[in-house]
Each structure stands twice: as C-alpha cells, then as structure tokens.
Amino acid sequence: MNSPVNAGGEALTLRNLSNLADHSRSGVAERTDGLGNVGSEHSNSASEPSKSYQCLLVFAGFMMTFHVIGINSIYGLFQEFYTSPETNITGALGQDALVSLVGTIGSGLTWSGSIFVNPMIRRFDNVKLISMAGAFIMSLGIFTASFCTQLWQLYLTQGLLYGIGSSMYYFPIMSLTPAYFDRNRGAAMGIVLAGSGVGGLVLSPVFHVLLTRIGIRWALRILGLWNFALGIPISSVLTKKHGAAASAAGSTRVSMALIKRGTFILQSLGALLQAAGNMVPVYFLTTYSVSVLSYSSSTGSLLLAVNTAVNSVARIGMGILADRVGRQNTMVLSVLFSGVAVFALWYDSDRARFLGFVVLYGILAGGYNALLPTTITEVYGVQNYSSVNAFIYFIRGLGALFGAPIAGLILGSHQRGTRLSGGFMSNLNILKTRYNDVAIFDGVLLLAAGVCVAYVRWLDARDKGKWSWKA
C-alpha cells in the first residue's frame, strides 16, 4: 500500500496524523465499541469517518502487524544464530530448548497480554498512549537485547520486555479499527492482517543481511531503533471512536454460562494445542534446513521468508474458500491438513519434500489465524466476542510458551559439525532422528487441535438445533 491520500489527492504527512485522529472522534455514530459490543445507534453518511482517516488507519494497522507478527515470525533466524558456534550468548550453543524459550516468552506474551490490554482499552479514552507505550517498551526490549551475554538477560529483554510491549502495541489497533468500517470492514482487516506475511517476507532477508554484515549486536540495535521510529507515529493515529465509553468492569470477563459450554472448553483446548504446534515449524524451519539439510544460513532465511509470504497470501485464499464452504469447515480442514503435512513432508524429509513442506504448511497454517475471530462470533455471538476473543488469545499465548521449548528438549543439546567426517555423519543421523521425533510431536499437536475444532463444529450445530453442511 502506498501513502494514504486525502480527498484532494495530497499525500498525508506526519503533521496530519493528530488532525485526522481528532476529526474522526466526531465522525462515527455508535455501532460497536471496536471490541465486539454492538451499540444502539445507526450511522448515516454524514457520520462516517473521512476516507483519509480510514486509509490512514488501515495503513497503520498494516505496518503494526508488519512489525509485531513479522518480528515474531523470524525468530527462527535468532534461534539458528544463538545456537550456532558464532553465538554471542554464553551457554547457548546447541541449547535449542533454552534459546527457543526466549522467543516463546515474547510471542506468548504478545497474545496472552490481550487479557490485560483489552480492559485497559475500555478504561482509557486516549488509547494511542497505550499503543505508544507498547511500541516504546517493545523497541526497548529489542535494543537492550543487543547488550546481552547471558540467556537470562535475553529472557528479560527479547522475551519479557518485547512481549509486554508488543501486546500493548498490537491490540489497541486490532481491537478498534473495525469500528471505523461498515461495508468494507472485511477488506480493511484483510489488508491489515496481510502485513504479517509481508513483514516476515521483508524482515527475514533484511535481518539476515544485517546479521552477516554488521553482527548480531548492531542488527538488534537497528531493528529496535527502526521499530521505535515507525511505531510511535503509527500509534499516534489511533483514537477511540465517539460514543465508545468505558464499559463495566466485568464486561471483558467470560461468563460462567459460556465457560460451562462444551464448545468453549474444546475451543480453548484447540487454541492451546494449535498455538503450541504452530510455533514449532516457525522456530525450527531455519535450524533444520541448515543443520540437517546443509543449506546455507542465507538459504534458510529465504525459506523462512517464503513460508511467511505464502502464509500471508493464503489468509486471503482461506477467506475466499470460507465464503464458499463455511468458516468453521475451512478452519477444521486447515488445522487437520497442517498436521498431515507435518507427517507427510517434514518427517524424515529430504530437500525436495522439505521445500514442499515450507510452501504447503505456509498455506495451511494461515487458515486458523485468519478465521478464528469470525468463528468466535458465529459460535458465541457478537455480544460475547470481546470476552471470548481476549480469553482465547490468552490461551494461545500459553500454548505458544510450551510448544517450541518442548521441541527443543526433544532435540537435546547438540553441536554442529563443520566437515563430512565419520563423526559428523553419525551426529547428523542422530540429529535427524531427533528432528523426526519433533515432527511426530508437532503433528500430534496439530491433529489433536484439528479434532478439537471439528468437535466444536459438531457441538455448535447441535446447540443450534440444526445441521448445515456450510458453517
């Protein structure tokens, strides 16, 4: 997307951001508070926000997912470097479980932070300050990670600080943007979410170049400064629409009636398992391609970029397919077949099959993330969207915390050889066997998640008293 333009076709500059945000306050009648709760008034043409502000908000959301999801998706590059002989972290060589925990703390807190950030959004009118604070904390975590020499220091910086900040940066824009759109809401959010794949596609080769040319420390500093330089102006465009007052204290809590429903229990379990399984290929794709298939690190980063790019495009395709065969049906198929892809293409793979896995898994893994919000609305109703969505993302954050570290424990401590000696080939065979065990672990997680979402599909039809093939 190019720079957003106003009605006269002039490019928007940073000086326009506050004026557009302030103008939008009086531009929307109350339809929804941006967190899924429907209001009582209907908008007319005079109360719609300006096209310029809508474009600016979509661009801001696109860039926000570019930052947050893009950085999360390339942690495999950090994983590969920190566990390699070139590592700058004491005790990290070959320690996949301990190193992966850094990334899972960060990404896990990104999602699980929703249960704390969403109530903040409801309580405070000036939500841009929440997002700005998040951009600052997130950038600080990345920047200070450049000074780390011990794993525990990475846990605090690239893990804890980054995760808290990214959650505060992510959820305000994602929660409030839909309120500014009516007929084009789906298209707007599709563009916003497309930033995640584009972020991985761009950041993977760029960060690899920085890593190889100037080293990990300055690469992290540049990434942190870049994130801050863009994150603050992006956050500044955000404003809560007029009429979206703070809700009651318990409005973001899941009701006991919902908690007792079988659909909610299985939806939560499926979210936990899918998040855990989904993180394993993301974190170990690069290390597998380098340590087992003997690709160069630059090729490994390219494969990661291809995977995230395919994932981004697939989200759009999954949405089109969902309109034809049903959202729940599409989500069930995407989760189940992602597990099948792990067993069929990653387990005991050679180069050709692994390339197929990189592409096919990228296609299938995008279905769950793209369709989860709409299926939550279908199953639990728009009035419960805010509370259920926040809780499900909290559960997904917990799932992200244990998937990759357990996979790292399965791999165990190992060192990479540098030449084709007999000892090296023996170690390579052992390492490949361990990766096969990781593939089994990952495939079981994803298939179990698929069974859960399939059962949710069946229970939802039963609760509604009718079965429809398209749901």
pLDDT at 40: 40
Which residues partner with 32 through β-bridges? 38
Is 34 part of a structural domain of the chain? no
DSSP secondary structure code for residue 95 in this structure:
B
Residues 173, 68, single domain; the answer is yes
pLDDT at 164: 96
Q: What is the pLDDT of residues 324-365, one digit of tens each?
A: 888 899 999 999 999 999 999 999 999 999 999 999 999 998
Q: Which residue type occupies 13?
A: T
pLDDT at 377: 80
Residues 141, 203, single domain; the answer is yes
Query: Cα separation of 411 and 167, whole Å?
Result: 30
The answer to whether residue 301 scores a pLDDT higher than 70 is yes
Is 431 part of a structural domain of the chain? yes
Is 6 part of a structural domain of the chain? no
Cβ–Cβ under 8 Å, residues 467 and 461: yes
Token pair for 74 = 């390339």
- With CA atoms as reference, report the closest residue to 460 among 263, 253, 170, 272: 263
pLDDT at 223: 96
Q: Where does a domain end: 211, 239, 267?
A: 239
pLDDT level of residue 22 (50, 70, 90 thresholds): very low
Cβ–Cβ under 8 Å, residues 247 and 37: yes
Q: Which residue type occupies 358?
A: V
Residues 195, 281, single domain; the answer is no
Instruction: Provide the domain limits for residue 177.
Output: 15-28+48-239
Q: Where does a domain end: 204, 239, 274?
A: 239
Share of the chain above pLDDT 70, in %: 83
Residues 208, 275, single domain; the answer is no
Is 35 part of a structural domain of the chain? no
Is 36 part of a structural domain of the chain? no
Residues 131, 234, single domain; the answer is yes
Is 38 part of a structural domain of the chain? no
pLDDT at 183: 65
pLDDT at 446: 97
- With CA atoms as reference, report the closest residue to 172 among 105, 108, 241, 220: 241
Per-range mean pLDDT, top range of 69-78, 218-227, 281-290: 218-227
Residues 131, 259, single domain; the answer is no
Q: What is the pLDDT of residues 258-274, one digit of tens each?
A: 888 888 999 999 999 99
Is 23 part of a structural domain of the chain? yes
Residues 65, 189, single domain; the answer is yes
Question: Which of helix, strand or coil describes residue 5?
Answer: strand
Cβ–Cβ under 8 Å, residues 31 and 40: no
Distance, CA of 55 to chain centre: 23
Is 40 part of a structural domain of the chain? no
Q: Computed over its alpha carbons, how large is the radius of gyration of the chain?
A: 22
Residues 171, 91, single domain; the answer is yes
Cβ–Cβ under 8 Å, residues 58 and 191: yes
Residues 256, 197, single domain; the answer is no
Domain total of the chain: 2
Q: Give how far Cα 271 sits from Cα of 11, 16, 145, 267, 453, Å.
A: 41, 40, 30, 6, 9
Higher pLDDT residue, 273 or 73? 273
Token pair for 355 = 């390339």
Residues 351, 445, single domain; the answer is yes
Q: Where does a domain end: 172, 204, 239?
A: 239
Question: Which of helix, strand or coil describes residue 295?
Answer: coil
- With CA atoms as reference, report the closest residue to 359 among 312, 296, 297, 292: 312
pLDDT at 372: 84
Share of the chain above pLDDT 90, in %: 42
The answer to whether residue 98 scores a pLDDT higher than 60 is yes
Residues 320, 226, single domain; the answer is no
Apex 240 CA angle, 228 and 373, nearest 5: 85
Residues 235, 327, single domain; the answer is no
Q: Give how far Cα 49 sits from Cα of 16, 23, 64, Å.
A: 15, 8, 21
- Average pLDDT (272-293) is 91
Q: Which residue type occupies 363?
A: I
CATH of the domain at 221: 1.20.1250.20
